[in-house]
Amino acid sequence: MRQVVVSDTLPRPAGPYSPGVIAGDFVYVSGQGPTDPATGKLVQDSVQAETRQVLKNVQAILEAAGTSLANVVKCNVYLADRHDFAAMNEVYREFFPTDPPARTTVQAHPPIEIRVEIDCVAYIPR
């Protein structure tokens, strides 16, 4: 079974992709940037503010799929500047305070002017 995750409260995709796709007992969340779904504008105050908005977006997609951050098994974090690692990690820890998921963090250059992008895979308990 494959099902696209949709909700009016999610940020609109910036291209031809789904915010999340459920396949079996897992949801695959597309890379999320710091778009505020209420305004459609990017949050660009700081790396911490961007990371917080990105993880709120990830959280909203997971909840729309019937799961939560507690069930994330793997995250990929993409930073425009590797020197932002500590600032990103400070906020990331707030969202995953205990038993965090497996994670890879790399420096990458997103196609738009953002500092942080995160995708993940989460288990959907049945």
pTM for the whole structure: 0.96
Integer Cα distance of 9 and 83 in angstroms = 32
Residue with tokens 């500092």: 115
Domain map of the chain by residue range?
2-123
Locate 31 and state its tokens. Answer: 């890379």
**CA atoms of 27 and 94, how far apart (whole Å):** 22
**CATH architecture assigned to 2-123:** 2-Layer Sandwich (3.30)
With CA atoms as reference, report the closest residue to 36 among 57, 55, 20: 57
1-13 per-position pLDDT tens digit: 899 998 888 888 8
Integer Cα distance of 119 and 61 in angstroms: 11
- For 80-99, what is each residue's pLDDT tens digit? 999 999 999 999 999 999 99
Let me know: does 3 contact 21? Beta carbons within 8 Å. yes
C-beta atoms surrounding 107 within 10 Å: 12
User: pLDDT averaged over the chain?
Assistant: 95
Residues 14-55 have pLDDT tens digits of 889 999 999 999 999 999 999 999 999 999 999 999 999 999
Rg (CA), the chain: 14
Asked if the model's pLDDT at residue 110 lies above 80, the reply is: no
End-to-end CA distance of the chain: 14
